[in-house]
Each structure stands twice: as C-alpha cells, then as structure tokens.
A and B are shown apart, each in its own frame.
Chain A
C-alpha cells in the first residue's frame, strides 16, 4: 500500500524525529547514534531523489547490521541503555521505509517513546521543555497528515493548542494517578555512572578536586530559622583510621557509643533534598536528632539511607546543635588514638612544646590552634604536593593547605598527645537562595574538620581551618569564582539581598525554580503522593477514584464549554423566533413545509387567512429589517416577539 505523502509531510517527520533523537547524542554510544544519522540523512536525500532509497533487500541487510551493532554495543535489549539504543536504531530504520500513512503513525509513536527515554538520562526542566516542544512537532506531523492542504504554521499552531489544552488534565492525572513502587528488576538496572562526592578515604587533594566542582549535593529548606553560618556543619563520613597518608572510615567504628544527651532548647527542623550520590550518607546538620524511619543513625552519629542512593531523595530531619555524647570505652579510645607507629621526633617535640607541662586537653587544643594561627600557615586550594610524610611536611615545611590538611594534622597531633580525636568529612556552609528560601550545598562546600573527645563534654567539634581562615566558615566560599579560577575566594559579605546583582538574582530565581521542579515534579513519589493526598483528605482508593473522575470531568466540561462556545453563538435570536413562528404555522396547517422566506410566507397567509394579512406583513417587514439589513434594534426584536405571540 503506497499512499501519496507530500514532501512537506516528510520534512515534518524527519525534523521531528531528528530533534527528538538529538539529545541522545550525549547518552547513546556514538556508533548507534551514527547508525541513526545515516538513515536520517539518506531519507533527506530521498525526498529529492526517491530512486536512491534502499530496496527491500538492502533494507533487510541494514536491519541485520543494525541489530548486530546493537548487540555489540549493548549485549542485549533490556535495560535503559540497551532499550534506548533499540528504539533509536529501529526509528532510524523505519525512516527509510515510509510508504503509507500507517508508517508515519508508527514513526511518530516510536519517536514519542524515544522522547520518554530522554527523561531516563536527564530530568531537568529544560529537557522537559525541549521534549514538549518536539511533541508539538510530532502532533503537527499528524495534523499535516490529516489535512488536505496542510499549512505549516497552521499545523504547528493547532498542535500547540492541543498540547496546551491537554496540560490541565495531564496535571490532574500526574497528581492523582496512583504511584506504585516498582519492583527493582536487576535486568533493567544499569551500572551507576561515576558521581563526584566524598569517598570512604580522605587523601590530601581529594577535597581540593571537589572544591572545583559546582555540582549540587543537596538543598535544605528550614521550617524555622536558619542556623548561623558557624553552625552549618553537614556531617558525613568519619575518618578514624590512618596509615599516616590516607585516612579511612572504619566500617565497625563507634559501636560502643551511646545516644547523646540533646539540649532541645534550640532545634532546627528542615527538609533535606539529596541529589543522587554513590554513597549512603545523608548529610544531616550536626547532630541529627529526629529522622524518618527509612534512615538509621550509627554509633558515629552519621545518618545512613538503606535505599538506592542513586536516586534523588527527600528527608524531613530535626537537628540539635547543643548536645553531649557519652563516655568512650576502651575500644573506642584505642580507635581514636590509633597512629601508624611512633610519631616523628619533630611532631613529638611539637607536642611537648605545646603541652608545656599542662595535661589539660582543652588548653592543649587552644595552644595548637594558636600555633596554626601564629606560625605563618596559610589557606590555599593549591598547596604543593606532599607525597611522603604529609603531616610532617605540612606542619613544618610547607605550612600551606586547605581543610583536609589542617584537620588531619590537627587530629594527628592530638592523638600524639594522647587525646582521642578523629577527622569528620562533610560539607560546611551553603549558599542561601533568597528566592526559594533554601540553602544550596555544592561539592565546592566540601569540608573536613575534627572531633575531639573530652571527658566532661564527649565528642566536641573543632575546626582548625577556622583558626587560619575564619572567613571560610563565616562567609563560605564564592563557588562560582572558585570553580572558574581554581583559587579559593570567600564571599565578600554575609548574605545581603541588596548586594546581589541582577545576574545573581536571576541565578537564584532559576535555582529556586529548579529546586521546586525537583521537589514537586521529579521527586513526587509514592510517599509524597500519600502525604499530599491525605492533606486533601483523600484516604482510600474509592475517594481517589472519585476525585480523579470528578476533576477530569470538570476539566473536560470547562474545555468543552470553551471550545463549543463559537458554535452556540451562531444561534440568532431573530432566526430562532422566526423558526418558532413558522413551526406554529405548520402546526396550524397554514403551510405545507418549512423553509419559506418571510415574504412568501406573508403572501401565503394573506391568501389563506385574510384576517392575518396585516400582522403577517408586519412580521415579514420587521424580520427582514432585523435579519437581512442588520440595522434592527432591540426594540424591533421585542416588537417581533410581540407580533408573533399575538398571532393566534
């Protein structure tokens, strides 16, 4: 079956499929993408020269080649990458075989599926907008196919209108359509791509790399007041074991520790929206006090999520800045005093000098921080490399580094002095988005600090970086400048909305839109749906179904009223009145059939009922004036009505 398909339609088809597949250039292996481009280009040439399109056998050979390519690239057809590849390749092959209207439908429907697979790779608001625009093109293709003399602009306009009118129903369905948790079928999962973030090990330089990344880690919206900058420590991994170079997190550390005693006079209640990561850590404000049941807090007061960390997740948390942790048992003391052998003589000498015959840990810490401050230490993101004995090299030779250098050296010296201490990794600070009222924490906010166990207070946070670069803590880093130049830059002032340039305000506005998009669209899952629905008073399936149908019917009714209005306006009161008049005459047997003009009618009446001749003439005259000359007034209309009603 070969239908005639105009060239314009073929261009529509090629443009919409090309644009739908285009963003896949970043996800699909290059050979597969090339295999899509080949038929696309071939088909474009084929519009002008249909004789160069492939025949049946060549097409078959191409199909076999495509399948072979697919298997060599993906080893299968299941899973996100392989499935996407399959659809892209078959879409390309189908382009070479457009013979009838049916094929156009197959291509358009296939391209909608390819559009959906884009969302498996990127869920940004921009991608959604892009796909919506390309969907307009797809529908315009179908409209062109279903019109006799298609006009490009008119088809695009109608398609856009269709989509716009579909939006309300789509939103209602989106909110109310039951979300079910899908089983995690392993054959559908792809291996997680490498994501940046804190790791299990702390090596010099690791955080410096993060500091050059502006990637978002999480966003926090506080229910009450915002914690001051010096309290914004987001707790991550605890590095307690060291070989002198690398610091590591112990999987079994902190078993013996007890629940801290929280001073709940000051609490922070907040919602944490985590971006996908490759660890199970949830970066709670120090220390997490209340947390949802799907999280657990280990003995290191770290929050861990059991579910797939590769997905965006939202948690409602409560943290308390003032707390007292319990005693340290022997194994805990040993873990947090661990050193790789005897400290170097230079370090021992430093410890002796700082101790100054005084065994009190707090005074020792004060003197150590004073040492950092007074001995010409400086804060830099690009210190010289210290591959051997990094602690010694940092403390005595280079005296330049960033948070992880300070934290590890600090803990090392304390342990050498017999004070239990450990390195804590996480994020510090965050940029306040004044539009959305939330904190954005980025990879560049990655930080390392120390915790020291003191007999009366339990674990206490000390940040040696603050001693050398207090601006790092008080003001936070200027991430954009830091990422751009590779050097650390602190924000010139604390948050001050009037100091923001329009560019920054625009950026904040945009990141607020993105935040709401992530929270309400991307992250709207089973749990948040249940929460939202119960807020509406929808508890069971029956009520949900009722709401779903009622709101869809409401939208449909409104839309129908809107669309059908121009039809109703065609009704003309004058014509209606006249029709009523004629129907009455027919009923009375004065006329054979409807469809007479007013003057003919008047003539007929004059003949059959001379007594009615006068009013009939006036009816005809009034009607003609109202209907044909369109000069009539409302007075005439009521006149006509009176005349007709008077007629018996």
Chain B
C-alpha cells in the first residue's frame, strides 16, 4: 500500500498514525519517526563543549574525541531506527467489556531476527517490554471504556530509545480491531419487567410445559421469582418452584418495558436484565425496535444480546 505525496507529508502521520489497518503492520521507514530527545540535545551540548576545549587549547585530540562522539550521534540514529525496524505488530482478538470497565486491548509483537531490548508501548497506559529475537509475545494494554459500541483501540505508539537513550524512535499505529463495549449494567437489584410492553404479552410467563411441576431445594442461580414463598413462610426452608418440560420461565426483555429518562439509561437497565437473566439461568428474549431475538439461554445467546445492546443506535 503506497501513499500519495500529500498523505506522506500529513502531520497527523507523526502522531496519530496512518489509516487503521486490519492486517499485521511491519514497522519500516514509512512509519518510524526519529527525533533527538532532551538527553540527545544535552549530548550535542557535550560535543560542543569538547570542540570548545579543543578550540581554546588548540588540542587536536579533544577535537577528535568530539568528532568521535558526533559520529556516535549519527550512528545512533540508525541504531535507534533499527530498534523498531522490522518489528511486526498485529492486533489480537479483543475481548468485549462492559462500559466503565477497563478494556484490555491485546497486541502481538513479532520481533523478527533482531532482539528488541527496550520497547515502550503506549495506548492510554504504558508498558515496557523486552523481546528476544524470534519470540513473539502478546501484550495487553488497558484503557477505560467509557461508551458502549465498537471501539477501535486508538493509536498504539511503539517507541524505543535504545541503545543510548539520546534519540526516540516512535511509530504510531492504528488497527482496525474493534473491541465491543456493552452498555454499563444498571445497579443490581432492578426487578424484571412484570408487564410486557410493546406487543402486550406478559414479560414473564410460562410456555410449553408451563404447569407447575413441583418443588425442589433452592439452588444457586434460581431467581427470587422461582422461590415458593408459601413453603418458606411455613418454615419449611427455601424451595424453588419447578415448571414442566426442560425449560423454566421464559422472559421477554423489551426496551419499551425499561423505564428511564433517556435511551442510555434504559439500555443500561436492559443490560442488567440480560445479565441477571443469564445468571439466573432463565430463557430470555430481547426486543429492540429494530431487532427481535427469540428467547434462549447460554453464552452465545447472551453475547448476541449484549452485542445488540452495545451497537443499538450507534
């Protein structure tokens, strides 16, 4: 992929990086930038002092030492470039999170033939790693996910000042590797909708083998709704009501049933319901204005529901 001339000189390449890539990125001359840092400027000052001593005393060896360090300065540009050049970075599979939680972005670094003694990676957080030659490593950088939706990792800046610390080489990289941020679940304890909105069905009703099947001892994961309060009141312990078939209660979670001042609050509540319903082992369906997911349970269904909530309206 080659760049147009105007793209090459765009200032944002130095800071934000080029357009996001879905593929692995190999760091090369196009993506690596080098600039002397403060210590590098101090080093230049040192060379100046040495040349000054040489000048004042007419001493050729002082000159020579100054020139030798000047040579080291030039050579270090190349070596600092080499600290990054040839490194291959790819974005890993990003695990979804709830808004407000730290999002972990994973990246895989392939050092190639050259060891990478001091790589600094920064997203919002920073990390310094050392990679021996030919040994890939996956690193995780955290960023607090504030808003739901698909979030790109932003600009990952890979930098190094190896070997002498007088130059900083950096490469801003952007990856097309979205991380899914679910809505922030509302405070726990929000009751499920008793009355369905929308199509007028009950939010919570029996279906299929829906006649009462008997009681069994309360197990972790049974919802409050299943508890047979009568037996509990009689002091016979906590029991859950069992319904016919292999399905328990079926729950329809509808955006319209969720109360709230604005959409985010209602999505947040809906999210809480999905989490609770999954944890309660219920079968639940999701109803959004543009989407209807039939009741089901299990990780796959759970993810599908949360994803629908995450990307709703964005």
Query: A residues bordering B, Cβ < 8 Å?
Result: 80, 101, 105, 109, 112-113, 115-117, 119-120, 123, 127-128, 131-132, 135, 139, 142-143, 145-149, 158, 162-163, 165-171, 173-174, 177, 179-182, 185, 188, 311, 521-525, 552, 556, 559-560, 563-564, 566-567, 570, 593-595
Taking a contact as CB atoms closer than 8 A, the residue among B50, B64, B71, B117 that contacts A521 in the complex is B64
Closest to A175 in B: B67
**Provided the pairs A135-B68, A146-B117 are in contact, do residues A188 and B75 lie with their beta carbons within 8 angstroms?**
no
Shortest B118–chain A CB gap in Å is 5
A-B contact pairs, 5 of them (CB 8 A): A120-B53, A143-B164, A147-B162, A169-B75, A182-B58
* B78, A567: Cβ atoms closer than 8 Å: no
Instruction: Provide the residues of chain B in CB contact with A525, threshold 8 Å.
Output: 58, 60
Within 8 A of A (CB), among B78-97: 78-79, 82, 85-86
**Chain B at the A interface: mostly helix, strand, loop or mixed?**
helix
Q: What interface size band does chain B fall in?
A: 35 or more
* A146, B46: Cβ atoms closer than 8 Å: no
- Interface flags, B30-56, vs A, CB<8A=1, else 0: 000000000100110010011001111
Known pairs A165-B75, A181-B58 / 16 extra A-B pairs, C-beta < 8 Å:
A117-B53, A123-B59, A139-B163, A142-B166, A143-B163, A148-B117, A148-B128, A148-B130, A169-B67, A170-B71, A177-B63, A182-B56, A524-B60, A564-B78, A593-B23, A595-B22
**Provided the pairs A147-B118, A166-B71 are in contact, do residues A120 and B128 lie with their beta carbons within 8 angstroms?**
no
Bound Cα distance from A166 to B79, whole angstroms: 12
Within 8 A of A (CB), among B149-203: 161-166
- Interface flags, B103-133, vs A, CB<8A=1, else 0: 0000000001110011000000000111000
* A566, B113: Cβ atoms closer than 8 Å: yes
* B60, A521: Cβ atoms closer than 8 Å: yes
Instruction: Provide the residues of chain B in CB contact with A170, threshold 8 Å.
Output: 64, 67-68, 70-71
Bound Cα distance from A179 to B22, whole angstroms: 56
Taking a contact as CB atoms closer than 8 A, the residue among A112, A165, A180, A563 that contacts B65 in the complex is A112
Bound Cα distance from A310 to B275, whole angstroms: 90
Q: With an 8 A cutoff between CB atoms, is B206 at the interface?
A: no
Q: With an 8 A cutoff between CB atoms, is B293 at the interface?
A: no
Closest to A165 in B: B75
Bound Cα distance from A567 to B39, whole angstroms: 28
**Chain A at the B interface: mostly helix, strand, loop or mixed?**
helix
* A166, B130: Cβ atoms closer than 8 Å: no
* A131, B165: Cβ atoms closer than 8 Å: no
Instruction: Provide the residues of chain B in CB contact with A177, threshold 8 Å.
Output: 63, 67
Bound Cα distance from A139 to B163, whole angstroms: 9
Bound Cα distance from A147 to B163, whole angstroms: 8
Most interface-central of A180, A523, A560 (chain B CB within 10 A): A560
Shortest A146–chain B CB gap in Å is 5
Shortest B31–chain A CB gap in Å is 13
Shortest A147–chain B CB gap in Å is 4
Most interface-central of A112, A135, A523, A566 (chain B CB within 10 A): A112
Instruction: Provide the residues of chain A in CB contact with B85, threshold 8 Å.
Output: 564, 567
Shortest A168–chain B CB gap in Å is 7
Bound Cα distance from A623 to B191, whole angstroms: 60
Taking a contact as CB atoms closer than 8 A, the residue among B58, B69, B86, B166 that contacts A112 in the complex is B69
Q: With an 8 A cutoff between CB atoms, is B57 at the interface?
A: yes
* A593, B86: Cβ atoms closer than 8 Å: no
Bound Cα distance from A37 to B30, whole angstroms: 50
Instruction: Provide the residues of chain B in CB contact with A173, threshold 8 Å.
Output: 67, 70-71
Closest to A80 in B: B57
* A556, B74: Cβ atoms closer than 8 Å: yes
Taking a contact as CB atoms closer than 8 A, the residue among A135, A142, A169, A174 that contacts B63 in the complex is A174
Bound Cα distance from A167 to B54, whole angstroms: 18
* B164, A566: Cβ atoms closer than 8 Å: no
* B71, A169: Cβ atoms closer than 8 Å: yes
**Provided the pairs A139-B164, A167-B68 are in contact, do residues A119 and B42 lie with their beta carbons within 8 angstroms?**
no
Instruction: Provide the residues of chain B in CB contact with A182, threshold 8 Å.
Output: 55-58
* A162, B79: Cβ atoms closer than 8 Å: yes
Shortest A42–chain B CB gap in Å is 26
* A120, B50: Cβ atoms closer than 8 Å: no
* A113, B46: Cβ atoms closer than 8 Å: yes
**Provided the pairs A167-B68, A170-B70 are in contact, do residues A116 and B58 lie with their beta carbons within 8 angstroms?**
no
Closest to B22 in A: A593
Bound Cα distance from A564 to B113, whole angstroms: 12
Instruction: Provide the residues of chain A in CB contact with B69, threshold 8 Å.
Output: 112, 135, 166
